[in-house]
Amino acid sequence: MKYWGIEDETVGHYRRFEFEDFENIATANGFMVKNIAGLTYPLSNLLFGLSNYLVKKSDGWKTSLSKDEQTELSSAGGAKQIKFKTNFPYWFRYLINEFTMYPFYLLQLIFRKSRNSMVIYCEYQLPSAKADR
């Protein structure tokens, strides 16, 4: 929840989850966490303020809608078209590409267990029969 932002408010989110939340959900429902990793850290954290600004400028009007309306708009409209966040001029490919982003990919791997990750990927699995014995 510490990274709650305007983007959450425009797409109908109710809350954000932390690493511990995924562990608690698994335990409460008889699952085990198979794999959990933080994604996009530290780049998304560095760009968080700019991202909030761009979303507010483009989609801020959606905050006055109900959560249902926000969710319907975000899922029906396809990918958002927010200038300099999801939609870039052609020449940006020289600045943002697989080569210039590679150092951030490496940082993401190094810090995949960081509790400051804004995006968390989690896989659950049922306990095996052997594990129950």
1-37 per-position pLDDT tens digit: 889 998 888 888 889 999 999 999 999 999 999 999 9
DSSP, collapsed to helix, strand or coil, labels residue 45 as: helix
Amino acid at 21: D
For the chain, what is the domain count?
1
Above 50 in pLDDT, residue 133? no
Q: How many CB atoms lie within 10 A of CB 41?
A: 23
Residue 131 lies inside a defined structural domain of this protein: no
Residue 132 lies inside a defined structural domain of this protein: no
- Give the mean pLDDT of 111-129: 90
Domain containing 38 equals 6-125
Q: Tell me what pLDDT residue 77 has.
A: 62
Confidence band for 128, pLDDT divided at 50, 70 and 90: confident
- Give the mean pLDDT of 45-60: 93
Residue 47 lies inside a defined structural domain of this protein: yes
d(CA 116, CA 38): 8
The tens digit of pLDDT for each residue in 87-107 reads 999 999 999 999 999 999 999
Q: How many CB atoms lie within 10 A of CB 129?
A: 7
Lookup: tokens for 5: 């932002």
Residue 103 lies inside a defined structural domain of this protein: yes
Model pTM?
0.75
The 3-class SS string of 65-98 reads CCHHHHHHHHHHCCCCCCECCCECCHHHHHCCCH
